[in-house]
Amino acid sequence: MIRKLTSGEFRLYSRKKDPRTGKRRNLGTFKTRAAAEKHEREVQYFKRNG
């Protein structure tokens, strides 16, 4: 899940909420949406093949 921050950067959040905090886990902040989408694909790959 990618959200745009007020600073203009994009942050990648986990899809599920963290049971401890009740919030989504921050998986990285990126300058461009394309970079965030690329990293999201890498994360999904490692979830299955890590």
pLDDT tens digit string along 3-37? Answer: 999 999 999 999 999 999 999 999 999 999 999 99
Strand partners, 30: 10
| pLDDT given at position 29 | 98
Secondary element (H or E) of residue 49: helix 33-49
pTM recorded for the entire structure:
0.85
Q: How distant, in Å, are the alpha carbons of 28, 29 from that of 14?
A: 10, 12
Give 9's contacts (C-beta < 8 A, 6+ positions apart): 29, 30, 31
Query: Does residue 50 have a pLDDT over 90?
Result: no
For the chain, the domain total comes to 1
What residues make up the domain containing 43?
Answer: 2-49
